[in-house]
Amino acid sequence: MTAPDHLDADRLSAPGGQPVLVVDAAFWRRPLAPIQALVIGLDRAGAMPAIGADDFDLLLTSAADAPRPWVSIAPPDFDARVELLTGAVGKNPLAATIAAQVLRLAAKLTIADALTVESFAYSALLGGAEFARWRTTAKIGGAVASPPDPVMIERTGDRIALTLNDPAGRNAMTAAMRDALFEALANAIDDPSRPAVVLRGIGKCFSTGGALPEFGTARDLAGAHAVRTLHNCARALDALGPRATARLHGACVGSGIEIAAAAHRRLAASDAWFQLPELSMGLIPGAGGTATVARAIGRHRTLWMLLSGKRIGAAQALDWGLIHAIEDIS
């Protein structure tokens, strides 16, 4: 493919009708023209060519156990997986290309600034047609019933345990739970005794992420952005530094991994699994994932999680650096 000029760049975008480019990783170099299209670089032969990672948004190889930033795909599945990824971009082209843009920006920013950029983009997509389409077609239940104490707080000596406490709701991250968690984390940050903090969830899983009935209920998207950045649990957890540990089990979906990924130490049970499903809703992560997950596993692999929507198990999460150890967390 010849390098596009500035006029060609218009068509290499979601509005221009070509939101994704699939290229040979060995020969592609990002052009000077400001293309918006998401760039997927392929290494079908598994040769692991020398590349400039900044030229790509996602890198796929048939080589087994490839190092970061590559994502390994088994040769028999390679073309089918590429088709699924490009299909995901085609279904929600604005959300996909905005995700790639935000991930690129986040890699160059402090975590606080990266979270702000993510929130701007998330609010924009909440007002977009792709999310509106998902809201129209999704089968979402009624109002969320939050327990009286959505986060349990227990202090033992110089250690505070914060436990997500809605097992019946699979610890879905409601606004009430988010606010309670942020308050508890903020108190721990300000505590002059500098206690260690352990974040965990009660019941069968850590958290299935945002409570679906609450998605899209905000009418003032600017105000929602302000609240989201004020009460950002990922920022608060990151501010604790080495004092923070997340203990994960079962489903860790959406905000259920985006927040936990900000913890300095992340431990998981062998049954833990991780997923970023937001793109299928016409959104990007809104609880910090483009900053926290990307810092753990890199922006290319984070984008793969978003485009594929696939679950990764504890072993793969450990290999990628999303968690630091697999152990009994009881």
Q: What is the pLDDT of residue 2?
A: 65
Rounded to 5°, the CA angle 148-221-255 comes to 50
Same domain, 14 and 145: no
Same domain flag for 199 and 74: no
- Mark whether 45 and 136 lie in a shared domain: no
Residues 124, 169 within the same domain: yes
Q: What is the pLDDT of residue 227?
A: 87
Which positions ≥6 away from 129 have C-beta within 8 Å?
A: 94, 282
pLDDT at 218: 77
Same structural domain for residues 146 and 288? yes
Q: Are residues 67 and 142 in the same domain?
A: no
Boundary-marking domain end, from 39, 56, 91: 91
Q: CA 45, CA 330: separation in Å to the nearest integer?
A: 44
Say yes or no: 137 and 268 in one domain: yes
Same domain, 131 and 26: no
d(CA 188, CA 245): 13
**Do 79 and 140 sit in the same domain of this protein?**
no
Domain boundary among 29, 59, 91: 91
* Residue 2 falls inside a structural domain: no
CB of 274 closer than 8 Å to CB of 257:
yes
Answer whether residue 160 is part of any domain: yes
pLDDT in tens, the chain (330 residues): 566 777 778 899 999 999 999 999 999 998 888 899 999 999 999 999 999 999 999 999 999 999 999 999 999 999 999 999 999 999 999 999 999 999 999 999 999 999 999 999 999 999 999 999 999 988 776 667 778 899 999 999 999 999 999 999 999 999 999 999 999 999 999 999 999 999 999 999 999 999 888 877 778 899 989 989 999 999 999 999 999 999 999 999 999 999 999 999 999 999 999 999 999 999 999 999 999 999 999 999 999 999 999 999 999 999 999 999 999 876
Total number of domains constituting the chain? 2
Whether 173 and 52 map to the same domain: the answer is: no
Q: What is the DSSP string of 54-104?
A: GG-SEEEESSTTPPTT-EE--GGGHHHHHHHHHHHHHHSHHHHHHHHHHHH
Six-digit token pair at 172?
């879905």
Residue 28: Cβ within 10 Å count = 20
pLDDT of residue 245: 98
**Residue 166 shares a structural domain with residue 56:** no
Does 101 reside within a domain?
A: no
Instruction: Give the residues across from 160 on adjacent strands.
Output: 155, 197
- Residue at 96 is within a domain: no
* pLDDT attached to residue 278: 96
Domain boundary among 91, 120, 146: 91
**Is residue 207 one of the residues assigned to a domain?**
yes
Best CA proximity match to 244, nearest among 303, 289, 181:
181
CATH code where residue 139 lies: 3.90.226.10
**Domain of 46, in residue numbers:** 8-91
Q: Does the pTM exceed 0.85?
A: yes
**Any domain includes 139:** yes
Assign residue 48 a region: left if phi > 0, alpha if psi is -120 to 50, beta otherwise? left
In a domain, 144, yes or no: yes
d(CA 168, CA 100): 35
Is there a domain that residue 233 lies in?
A: yes
Asked if 281 and 225 sit in the same domain, the reply is yes
